[in-house]
Amino acid sequence: MLKLSVSRIPELLAAIGGARALFLPARSGGQVNFTRWDTGVEYCGEALNTVKSAKDFFFPQSENLLTFQTQGKSISITPGGVPEEPFVIFGARPCDVRAMDILDMVFLSDPQDSFYKARRESGVVVAMACNAPEETCFCGSFGIDAADPPGDVAAWIVGDTLYWDAKTEKGEALTGELSALFSQADGGDLAALKTHKEEIASILERLPLSDLRPQSVGGSLLELFSSEKWGELSQACLGCGACTFVCPTCQCYDIQDFNTGHGVQRFRCWDSCMYSDFTMMAHGNPRTSRLERFRQRFMHKLVYFPENNGGQYSCVGCGRCVSKCPVSLNITKVIKAFGVKENVR
Amino acid sequence: MPIEREWEPLIVAFCCNWCSYAGADLAGTSRLNYPANVKIIRVPCSCRVNPLFILRAFQRGADGVIMAGCHPGDCHYTSGNYYARRRMTLLFSMLDYMGIESGRTRVEWISAAEGGKFAAVMNEFAGAIHELGENRRLGDIRCKNYQK
Amino acid sequence: MQKLSEMMRARAAELLAQGAVGRVLGWRSGGLGYDPSPAFFHSAEQLPELVYNGFCAANLSKYLIKAGENDGRTLVFLKPCDTYGLNQLLSEHRIDRDKTYLLGVGCGGMLDMEKARGKGIKGVGSLEEAGGAVVFQTLYGEKSCPRSDLLLEKCIACKGGEHMAYDELLGAEETAANTGFDRFAGVNELEDMPAGERFDFWRGQLSKCIRCNACRNVCPACSCNQCVFDNARSGVSAKANADSFEENLFHIIRAYHVAGRCTDCGECSRVCPQGIPLHLLNRKLIKDINAFYGPYQAGADPDSLPPLTDYTKEDVEPGVVTTRGGATGC
């Protein structure tokens, strides 16, 4: 376990960012979002989380796959460059880091997505534990410990000290480059860190959503699918797609062609199951009503994905849907509606 | 393959069929010169011009867009150009508000008998766009096919 | 506001019992106190969940489009600003007035949880509106904040407490008076900047846009069955902003499509997850329309003609944009 004074974080960022691309949560345009580091960009640790999740770095909102160009009767095809620029993400929260594992299950399973894979291999994730979880957090319901982040490096800020623990080979390699900045944490430091983690745990226990259990969504797939509760739950939904775009685990994308006038660019971009042209086929979108699309989203996250992926839910409890939905609908309301009443935890 | 060449302004002119397109025709038959980089798109009436057309023109490489129609009061369809006048005023005001140079858009009323006016307007507009330079603020980088 | 909630529930129960309405459209309380959702209530048993508090900012009028497909009338609670949206939908024949029962409710201004978070109020367990303040019970202690510090932008720029359409009024005397805030102040500030600075401002704001379409879907003026941006044949459909042009395009076109029909309800700015000040775009168009074509408030009178479907022979020329003065140049 290494440590560093919080006042030296700008030095640390300069050391990391001087040698490669570095992205960290920073204030810009009135919001806190992942911003590319440059001198003057300050790490914003007070914000609970960024508006957009870190999935953008591995699965960008828009990405060129191929470019076609015609010249007379011949067509030339240029593949979109597979990105290989090494980068570091600093300050990702435990929920966002776990979301990357969920995306791995989708994009790195056979057949592998070469674009995603290349980015995943070039990226190093430094996770930051949460000091002040808020009422919108329910990561605990999905087995994530906000006090003990996964990632290549786990970090904590306790008072004036930043603690740094490399967990993977990539993390060790990065740490090796920065070793001059750190000092070893001693027994007293470790004790302070332990107390800090216990404090976070006690906050997590008192959160309003701490007793939310996705496992309580009971019933067979067909029972859940045909439940009458979907009507009531989906009534207010605007079908906008805000939830899907801020969600760190949503992974659907569309492939489209753009006519540039001198060729065609085939690109992929985020898609939303809320949209009317989602999964559009020759006859149209098979889900013609708002209810069906709303149901699809939550059945996917709570039933279909776990069934196909060994019980892993496609949600990490980050709470973005809770705070960003224009009409305050979210996965917690769905879980509560379907949850069988239990007195556990 | 991007082609290397010097920048020349590209101007798109939406001309209504009954007045300004005929005016352009008259300019041609009268052997009045106007720049070859003014591309004319004929529409039945200036009212046909959808703000999306203007934006698409800029997206696809235009550096200036001008809409030419019948004089107010003389619209072939009686009132089309009145609606177009309101529409374009608001659109241009909005583009100006977003920081797009206001000199890149214009509306002119040119009748079928005003071949001279057509040529003069196009010459002047092309010159103004030349001064303003390449459209960088409202262009689509994917549609660019050349490098400076 | 507590008392008003009770009155609303009671009146809704009465109307349901009489058969005068088939369903009630209001807000259902959420678990966190500040997250009520629009909801339909079909029976008196469901009405205890009907809530009306300082977080009921959502405009319910747009849901009447779908509700009109059912038999019978729908009772809907409308704040003063919501009625403008309703009138706009009426004038566009999207709603059948005979299938609605409009209950206008008073409003003291709606609150912004983002502003509360900005003041460090987090870990909220419950909250209470008491007099002119909101008291939050949080994990990190009790926090109190004056209501006036938490008002949504759209409520600071309130157009006034008069309901433009209603069958009945409840608690209208609770409406806060218009504070005289100049809603065009932000627009004026931008207009006074040189064009280059304006461009930078809008680039900074619009580059945040994630094309979630929340602004479009919440807008009462945007109710097309197939939006131009969802139509592959329109040539401008794009699910993501591939570059700066598309970031600009969506907002220019959307603001333009609602020009003259935008009631300035402020919902678009409220719902944007990235906090883009869309009201600065829409109010610019309103300001221009007022200046060029005479003062016009969309939704005030459902029989009025929207400015872009009207004309006079003496309208200003588009050249006014370059000749009106003010800061130009780059």
List pLDDT tens digits, range A27-79.
Answer: 988 889 999 999 989 999 888 999 999 999 999 999 999 999 888 889 899 99
Q: Are A162 and A253 contained in the same domain?
A: no
Domain ranges of chain B: 7-135
Q: Which of A152, A178, A206 is the last residue of a domain?
A: A206
* Sheet with strand C168-170: strands edge to edge: C37-41, C23-28, C74-78, C100-105, C168-170
| Among candidate residues C213, C251, C97, the one with its CA nearest the CA of residue C164 | C97
Please report whether residue C330 resides in a domain. no
Min Cα distance A218 → chain B (Å) is 50
| CB-CB contact of C60 with C75 (8 Å) | no
Q: Which of A206, A223, A246 is the last residue of a domain?
A: A206
Check CB contact under 8 Å for A260 and B142: yes
Identity at C302, one-letter amino acid code = P
Domain hosting C214: range is 185-286
Q: Are C91 and C124 contained in the same domain?
A: no
Give the number of C-alpha atoms closer than 13 A to the C-alpha of residue C130, restricted to the C-beta side.
7
Domain B7-135's class? alpha beta
Q: Are A7 and A129 contained in the same domain?
A: yes
Q: pTM here? A: 0.93
DSSP 8-state secondary structure symbol assigned to residue A136:
T
Structure confidence by residue, pLDDT tens digits, A66-106: 999 888 889 899 998 778 899 999 999 999 999 999 999 99
Q: Are C266 and C215 contained in the same domain?
A: yes
SS (H, E, C) chain C: CHHHHHHHHHHHHHHHHHCCCCEEEEEECCCCCCCCEEEEECCHHHHHHECCCCCCCCCCHHHHHHHCCCCCCEEEEECHHHHHHHHHHHHCCCCCHHHEEEEEECCCCCECHHHHHHCCCCCEEEEEEECCEEEEEECCEEEEEEHHHCECHHHHCCCCCCCCCCCEEECHHHCCCCCCCCCCHHHHHHHCCCHHHHHHHHHHHHCCCCCCCHHHHHCCCCCCCCCHHHCHHHCCCCCCCCCHHHHHHHHHHHHHHCCCCCCCCCHHHHHCCCCCCCHHHHHHHHHHHHHHHCCCCCCCCCCCCCHHHCCCCCCCCCCHHHHCCCCCCC
Q: Are C46 and C84 contained in the same domain?
A: yes
Structural domains in chain C (count): 3
Q: Chain C residues with CB inside 8 Å of A136's CB?
A: 32
Residue of A nearest to B145 (CA): A262
- Smallest Cβ–Cβ distance between C199 and the set B79, B88, B98 belongs to B98
Q: Are C32 and C94 contained in the same domain?
A: yes
Q: Which of A153, A171, A206 is the last residue of a domain?
A: A206
Check CB contact under 8 Å for C273 and A254: no
Structure confidence by residue, pLDDT tens digits, B10-25: 999 999 999 999 999 9
Min Cα distance B39 → chain C (Å) is 20
The angle subtended at Cα C120 by Cα C115 and Cα C126, nearest 5°, is: 80
Check CB contact under 8 Å for C249 and B85: no
Positions in chain B whose pLDDT score sits under 70: 1-5, 146-148
Q: Are C9 and C103 contained in the same domain?
A: yes
Q: Are C130 and C228 contained in the same domain?
A: no
Please report whether residue C322 resides in a domain. no
Check CB contact under 8 Å for B99 and C199: yes
Domain hosting A18: range is 2-72+79-206
Q: Are C201 and C273 contained in the same domain?
A: yes
Q: Are A221 and A170 contained in the same domain?
A: no
Q: How large a percentage of chain A has pLDDT more than 70?
A: 98
| Among candidate residues A43, A56, A207, A235, the one with its CA nearest the CA of residue A141 | A207
Min Cα distance C211 → chain A (Å) is 8
Q: Are C16 and C98 contained in the same domain?
A: yes
* Alpha-helical regions (H) of B11-79: 20-29, 51-59
Is residue C329 over pLDDT 50? no
Is residue A274 over pLDDT 70? yes
Q: Are C43 and C165 contained in the same domain?
A: yes
Q: What is the pLDDT of residue C60?
A: 95
Q: How far is CA A189 from CA A147, A149, A176, A196, in A?
A: 16, 18, 21, 10
Structure confidence by residue, pLDDT tens digits, B38-63: 999 999 999 999 999 999 999 999 99
Is residue C320 over pLDDT 60? yes
Mean pLDDT lowest for which of A162-166, A214-218, A298-302, C33-37? A214-218
Q: Are C228 and C86 contained in the same domain?
A: no
Please report whether residue A344 resides in a domain. no
Is residue C330 over pLDDT 50? no
